[in-house]
Structure 1
Amino acid sequence: MDSSPHKVYHVHDFDSRQYLEHYFSDKPDMAFGDDTLNFFIEKFRQVFAVGHINGDILIDLSVSSFVHHLYSACEFFKNIIVLKANNRCIMELKRWVDDRTGAFYWGHTSALLQEKEENSDQFQDQESKLRSAIQHVVKYDPEKENMTDPLVLPPADCVISVGLLDVISKYQDDYIIYLRKFSRLLKPGGHIIIIGTLGATYLTIGKDKFHVFTYDEDFVRKVLGGEGFIIDYCKVKERTAVSDLADYKSIIFIAAHKEK
């Protein structure tokens, strides 16, 4: 039996709305803006602007139900399929996709993207573009060999995963196994983009602490290489947030492609 006092993301109840309020909101006391808003938007904008990551299908496997990391992606992919592990995350995301009353407010993030773009008019209606691009929201189980069983997804040109490997992996072998499953969703030569937290052990949602797998940059580089990926871009950003809600030391952004 697991003796850890921390809950596990895909096993225990995870309050997606409270997570968004803690780490992604526009509230004045939200400490994580530079790390989870500016950094996410800037790195994805930068990587997609190069122009070699594109295609028909993108699959997003990220923690919770944030959307701003996909703003730039929807300019380069016709269809986005989002996979979520629990019903609360699915409901939260669908509320936003359907533009329903009570959806989480993301206007502050689309405004950040406009500020970073020279031609900001192109991105003025980025939320609507992204809503149209998200074709399916699908529940998955990371423990299954085919995570979306019985549904078989079409092979993707790109897989994005933000924070998910950190919270579903307890040990190094878990991380490798889950990354391998993510890799199977790709076409030969497809791309993967991963954001993770380095040196973390927990994140807090309300009164609960959730487990986070502890690793460093060398580990994730070696794992990607071992799974046949060539790293095209890597950036590590030291933490700027002052808060005890989470104890990560830095954030890593990696874009890589699978050898054919």
Structure 2
Amino acid sequence: MDCGAKKFYHKHDFDSRTFLDTYFSDKLDMVFGDDALKFPMMNFHYVFSSGFVKGDVLIDVSLGPLVHHLYSACDIFKDIIILKLNERCTMETSRWKDTRTGAYDWTHTSAHAAKLEGKSAQVQDKDEQLKAAISHVISCDFENENITHPVVLPLADCITSVFLMESICKDEEDYMKILGKMSKLLRPGGHLILIAVLNSSYFIVGGEKFHGFGFDESFVKNALSKLGFVIDYCAVQRRKNDSKLINYKAVMFIAACKAK
């Protein structure tokens, strides 16, 4: 199937709950735990606990209604602003934040976050700490120059983005344009943290095939360098599952400082 036949999650119908159940749940038949949950959370815990990423304001713009990567962030950042590109994902995230009936259960990831911090007995505290740190869940659109128009956000000390760029970018030019808009939300000296699956071409949700833009580690590093970023940390893990639901070769975590 060519790119034109695939859907884009932020433009077409996207079942956010099926997406979470398929790729991020604690179900016994969920085979993506190492790549989708443990690898991102381990690396976020490392960079935030190491002390070189600091500040007050964090902006997250990630694929779907993901929040599990932010548990380590709430130990540092007083104000976490979550941006979503899909109305269903905005509603799904807000439902969880406000502890509404039917909200997705992220307990398995808050438990893992507490374990990483050596606080296994404080799972509920970890969940409530993150919810309290999230000040806004806002819809955004990268077609706009100000992606949160008409809302104007403060410049962030850190921007996090998980599995997003490969899902919304059509090609290299599109990637640079979107990365540039993301960079504009970040203050000089702040950090951009990206998690991506490498050499992606598609992922399937509820039987629907969604677009994946394939790129490698060198492409991401070059793109960041062109926009004035200096890479502080990078880790790559080879794919640890065998499933036809998604195509990729590895998962990459990269943290870069905006030098100018």
- Shared fold by TM > 0.5? yes
* Alignment match, 1:258: 258
Q: Is contact 2:111–2:120 with CA below 8 Å preserved after alignment?
A: no
Deviation at residue 33 of structure 1 after TM alignment: 0.5
The answer to whether the aligner puts 1:131 opposite 2:131 as a matched pair is yes
Q: Distance in 1 between matches of 2:231 and 2:121?
A: 32
Q: Is contact 1:114–1:124 with CA below 8 Å preserved after alignment?
A: no
Give 1:12-161 correspondences, 5 Å limit.
Answer: 12-120=12-120, 125-161=125-161
* Alignment match, 1:235: 235
Q: Distance in 1 between matches of 2:104 and 2:12?
A: 22
CA-to-aligned-CA distance 1:81-108 (integer Å, 9 cap, x gap) = 0000111001100110011111111111
Give the secondary structure class of the aligned counterpart of 2:78: strand
Q: Is contact 1:18–1:205 with CA below 8 Å preserved after alignment?
A: yes
Equivalent residue letter for 1:239: R
Q: Distance in 2 between matches of 1:258 and 1:62?
A: 19
Give the secondary structure class of the aligned counterpart of 2:51: coil
Give the alignment's TM-score, normalised by structure 1.
Answer: 0.96
Q: Is contact 1:41–1:113 with CA below 8 Å preserved after alignment?
A: yes
* Alignment match, 1:212: 212
Give the secondary structure class of the aligned counterpart of 1:59: strand
Provide the aligned C-alpha RMSD in A. Answer: 1.3
Deviates more, 1:70-79 or 1:100-109: 100-109
Equivalent residue letter for 2:137: V
CA-to-aligned-CA distance 1:179-211 (integer Å, 9 cap, x gap) = 000000011111000000101100000010000
CA-to-aligned-CA distance 1:112-170 (integer Å, 9 cap, x gap) = 12222234456651110000011001111111111111111111000001111111101
Q: Distance in 2 between matches of 1:148 and 1:115?
A: 35
* Alignment match, 1:199: 199
Report how many residues are paired.
259
Equivalent residue letter for 1:69: H
Which consecutive unaligned segments of at least 5 residues does structure 1 have? none
Deviation at residue 52 of structure 1 after TM alignment: 2.1
Q: Distance in 1 between matches of 2:3 and 2:136?
A: 37
Distance 1:175 1:54, change over 3 A: same
Q: Is contact 1:192–1:256 with CA below 8 Å preserved after alignment?
A: yes
Q: Distance in 2 between matches of 1:125 and 1:242?
A: 35
Which consecutive unaligned segments of at least 5 residues does structure 2 have? none
Give the secondary structure class of the aligned counterpart of 1:125: helix
Percent identity over paired residues: 52
